């Protein structure tokens, strides 16, 4: 059709996503998969009607103020939108959407991997074998923590938290959770509700974070809250790095307050924290919670569904502002 809207896909997405976008829109792609600066985002906004970004593109109030009025919708390729100043975007009249639902299972799988790996000292064991340090064995060698029958605390019982709770149910874990409000019993699946994080933590030998990053949740797991956990607890984070005070986490891991941690997200991304990298009792991944072929296709298609709806004059399913 004539005069197709121009859609800018800021990062290299799945082949299926890019093929669909190119079929339906005039599409600007990023085959080199480079990260654009704020000034480049602003300059590109003069050329496009829609932006399909990832969490690597930051729409701060300053950037939003300088965006071209041509941009009508920002359809995020993510669930989290902490990289977007929603208030500023709403005030400018730009529609913002995200991609819920489709990445819950993939992210929950990574949380399970992190929890098992942290509990059973996977990084340390892998390093010992790879470096030729595995020269003996005894019943006292590489003893870790068993998950089966333990108490798990889930902070944030949304889609991912609920998917994770279902996955770990086979381990016979007693599940506790904190959420802004209790879930209906059929959704909670027997999990025990706590109305504050402070009340939750003393019960939990394992804790998994699944809440969004907001000003209220920044450094949610700080020294004071880490101290509430039982000695030898294990902390997992697949949500956002902003949720953990990393200096306090390092202190807790060094002191033995925490036995281990499993992390897929960090304060600084990409890169992580060099001080965490020095510790054997941390199992780390480079923010790959949703990185499966199936989920990447589903995320891209969900973002395009929102763009399709907007330009067809319909309300986007996942509109945030």
Residues identified as active-site? 240, 269, 287
Report how far residue 144's alpha carbon sits from residue 140's, in angstroms, rounded to the nearest whole number. 10
From the DSSP assignment, how many helices (H) and strands (E) are in the chain? 13, 12
- CB proximity list for 295: less than 8 A, separation 6 or greater: 102, 103, 105, 106
State phi, psi for 108 to the nearest 5 degrees: -65, -35
> 3-class SS at 6?
strand
Give CA separation, 211 vs 16, 119, 264, in Å: 30, 22, 14
Task: Give 140's Cβ-side CA count (13 Å radius).
Answer: 0
Task: Give 193's Cβ-side CA count (13 Å radius).
Answer: 12
- CB proximity list for 200: less than 8 A, separation 6 or greater: 153, 155, 176, 177, 178, 194
Report how far residue 285's alpha carbon sits from residue 239's, in angstroms, rounded to the nearest whole number. 12
**Which neighbouring-strand residues pair with 8?**
28, 51
Is the peptide bond between 270 and the residue preceding it cis, with omega within 30 degrees of 0? Answer: yes
Report how far residue 319's alpha carbon sits from residue 121's, in angstroms, rounded to the nearest whole number. 42
Angle between the N-to-C axes of helices 293-311 and 15-24, in degrees from 0 to 180, rounded to the nearest 10: 20
């Amino acid at each position: 059709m004539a005069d197709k809207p121009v859609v800018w896909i800021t990062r290299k997405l799945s082949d299926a996503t890019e093929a669909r976008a190119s079929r339906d829109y005039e599409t600007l792609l990023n085959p080199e998969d480079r990260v654009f600066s704020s000034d480049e985002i602003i300059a590109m906004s003069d050329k496009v009607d829609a932006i399909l970004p990832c969490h690597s593109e930051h729409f701060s109030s300053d950037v939003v103020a300088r965006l071209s009025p041509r941009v009508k919708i920002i359809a995020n390729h993510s669930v989290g939108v902490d990289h977007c100043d929603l208030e500023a975007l709403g005030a400018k009249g730009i529609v913002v959407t995200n991609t819920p639902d489709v990445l819950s299972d993939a992210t929950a799988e990574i949380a399970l991997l992190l929890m098992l790996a942290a509990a059973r000292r996977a990084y340390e064991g892998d390093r010992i074998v790879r470096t030729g340090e595995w020269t003996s064995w005894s019943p006292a060698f590489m003893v870790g923590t068993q998950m089966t029958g333990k108490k798990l605390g889930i902070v944030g019982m949304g889609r991912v938290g609920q998917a994770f709770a279902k996955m770990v149910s086979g381990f016979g874990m007693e599940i506790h959770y904190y959420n802004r409000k209790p879930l209906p019993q059929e959704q909670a699946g027997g999990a025990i509700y706590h109305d504050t994080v402070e009340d939750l933590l003393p019960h939990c030998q394992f804790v998994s974070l699944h809440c969004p990053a907001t000003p209220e949740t920044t450094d949610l797991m700080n020294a004071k809250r880490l101290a509430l956990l039982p000695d030898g607890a294990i902390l997992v984070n697949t949500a956002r790095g902003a949720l953990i005070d990393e200096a306090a986490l390092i202190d807790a891991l060094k002191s033995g307050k925490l036995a281990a941690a499993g992390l897929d997200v960090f304060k600084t991304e990409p890169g992580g924290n060099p001080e965490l990298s020095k510790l054997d009792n941390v199992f780390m991944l480079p923010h790959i919670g949703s990185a499966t072929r199936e989920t990447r296709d589903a995320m891209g298609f969900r973002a395009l569904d929102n763009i399709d709806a907007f330009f067809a004059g319909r309300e986007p399913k996942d509109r945030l502002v």
